[in-house]
Amino acid sequence: MCHQTVSLVARHLEANGIPTVVLGSARDIVEQCGVPRFLFTDFPLGNPCGAPGDVGMQRTIAGMALDLLECAAFPRTTLQTPFAWPNEAWRAGYMRIRPEDAARMHEMGEERRREQSEQKARAAAERSRL
């Protein structure tokens, strides 16, 4: 799920008396949203509770989140887990666009912009008929 969406929902819940802890990997986004308690895992997106199949790591991270919920002394508290992803090679390829894919991705972006433009034009035409 989107880190920003989760963070904004957490802020809304907190404003209504429901305590929260956000577990996530996008530290910059979550901290910018100003959540009260954030447990940061420096892992690939989609794995905030630990590596698949590593039940020990997952239990420890869940326990850390509950401890943070109970013991955070200050607003906007961020705690980082002590774990490293089992294979650090994920960083080398993260968000990397291979040269052979660049042209195809550029064309996909252009197509998306064309479709959005056409949708806006259709919506404007529909509004003008009303």
For 89-126, write each residue's pLDDT tens digit. Answer: 777 777 778 888 888 999 999 999 999 999 999 999 99
* 79 and 102 inside one domain: no
Q: Are 101 and 88 found together in one domain?
A: no
Which residues of the chain are modeled with pLDDT < 50?
Answer: none
Do 62 and 102 belong together in one domain? no
Question: Quick one: pLDDT at residue 115?
Answer: 95
Give the pTM.
Answer: 0.70
Chain Cα centroid distance, residue 22: 10
In angstroms, the CA 130 to CA 120 distance is 16
| Residue range(s) defining the domain that contains residue 118 | 97-129
Give dist(CA 87, CA 106) in Å, integer. 30
Pair (16, 65) in one structural domain: yes
Burial string for 11-41 (b: 16+ CB within 10 Å, else e) reads beebeeeeebbbbbbbeeebbebebbbbbbb
Question: Domains in the chain: how many in total?
Answer: 2
pLDDT at position 91, please? 74
Q: Is 121 found in the same domain as 74?
A: no
Residue 100 has a pLDDT of 87
Q: Taking the CB of residue 7, how many other CB atoms lie within 10 A of it?
A: 22
In degrees and rounded to multiples of 5, residue 37 shows phi and psi of -140, 130
Percentage with pLDDT > 90 across the chain: 69
CB 34 within 8 A of CB 3: no
Q: Are residues 74 and 87 in the same domain?
A: yes
Retrieve residue 33's tokens: 């949203």
d(CA 112, CA 114): 5
Do 65 and 124 belong to one domain? no
